[in-house]
């Protein structure tokens, strides 16, 4: 797996990362969602440089121009519900893409800190020989990403996989990098060093789903 940590180079991306982390601005759900969306746009732009392009010709009012066009067999798959703003950011740039949605949540037996990942809902087209953009804003332990990938395998074998995340923990990044095909790319806005005893990223930002859409039972 090739890892692209965009925070290693200074850019406007750092402003958006700062705002989604900041407890003083997190109460503005609209701003939080929009910043996740904008981060998705930046990640999408960067990964677009690694996609395949084909010859294209555009007719203007004054003539024709040869302009390479990005391949059209892209599927954007997001993990519900936290992945929705990130999904929209990617879709803003890959507006011809097909769409897939899958649920994954932590189930804590006996209310303990230990948990298992439960996948219950999946709506997706065939992934056979397509480019899969797998989006989840938080890459903590990596368990959700692996469980989702296992569930998607029955839909076909993608010709290329790009994982898109906003904030990850080094432990989670290390965990998944050998679980995907070797030519997989991970596009991540920033990586933190630690997980706490409950498997949450530290310092992270909290629960991206709750911050986007409100707390859940």
**pLDDT tens profile 15-39:** 999 999 999 999 999 999 999 999 9
Closest CA to 103 of 83, 128, 124, 122: 122
Q: Which CATH class is domain 2-50+73-193?
A: alpha beta
- What phi and psi values does residue 213 have, to the nearest 5 degrees? -130, 0
Domain ranges of the chain: 2-50+73-193
| pTM (2 d.p.) | 0.91
Given a contact cutoff of 8 angstroms between Cβ atoms, the answer to whether 171 and 113 are in contact is: no
Mean residue pLDDT across the chain:
93
Residue 87 has pLDDT above 80, yes or no: yes
Residues 6+ apart with CB under 8 A from 185: 1, 2, 3, 4, 47, 50, 161, 162, 163
Q: What is the pLDDT of residue 132?
A: 98
Given a contact cutoff of 8 angstroms between Cβ atoms, the answer to whether 114 and 141 are in contact is: no
Q: What is the average pLDDT across 200-217?
A: 90
Q: How far is CA 39 from CA 82, 91, 127, 199, in A?
A: 14, 12, 25, 23
Each residue's pLDDT tens digit, 109-158: 666 665 667 778 899 999 999 999 999 999 999 988 999 999 999 999 99
Residue 108 has pLDDT above 60, yes or no: no
Residues 6+ apart with CB under 8 A from 133: 44, 47, 74, 75, 76, 77, 90, 94, 97, 162, 164
């Amino acid at each position: 797996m090739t890892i692209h940590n965009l925070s290693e180079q200074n850019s406007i991306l750092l402003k958006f990362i700062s705002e989604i982390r900041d407890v003083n601005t997190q109460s503005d759900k609209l701003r939080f969602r929009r910043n996740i969306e904008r981060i998705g746009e930046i990640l999408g732009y960067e990964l677009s440089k690694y996609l395949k392009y084909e010859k294209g010709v555009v007719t203007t009012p004054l003539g024709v121009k040869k302009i390479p066009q990005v391949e059209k067999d892209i599927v954007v798959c997001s993990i519900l519900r936290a992945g929705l703003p990130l999904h929209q950011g990617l879709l803003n740039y890959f507006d011809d893409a097909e769409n897939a949605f899958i649920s994954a949540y932590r189930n804590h037996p006996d209310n303990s800190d230990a948990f298992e990942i439960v996948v219950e809902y999946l709506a997706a087209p065939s992934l056979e020989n397509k480019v899969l953009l797998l989006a989840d804003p938080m890459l903590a332990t990596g368990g959700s990403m692996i469980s989702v990938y296992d569930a998607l395998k029955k839909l076909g074998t993608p010709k290329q996989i790009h994982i898109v995340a906003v904030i990850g923990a080094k432990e989670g990044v290390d965990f998944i990098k050998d679980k995907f095909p070797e030519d997989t790319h991970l596009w991540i806005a920033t990586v933190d060093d630690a997980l706490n005893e409950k498997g949450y990223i530290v310092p992270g930002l909290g629960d991206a789903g709750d911050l986007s859409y409100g707390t859940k039972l």
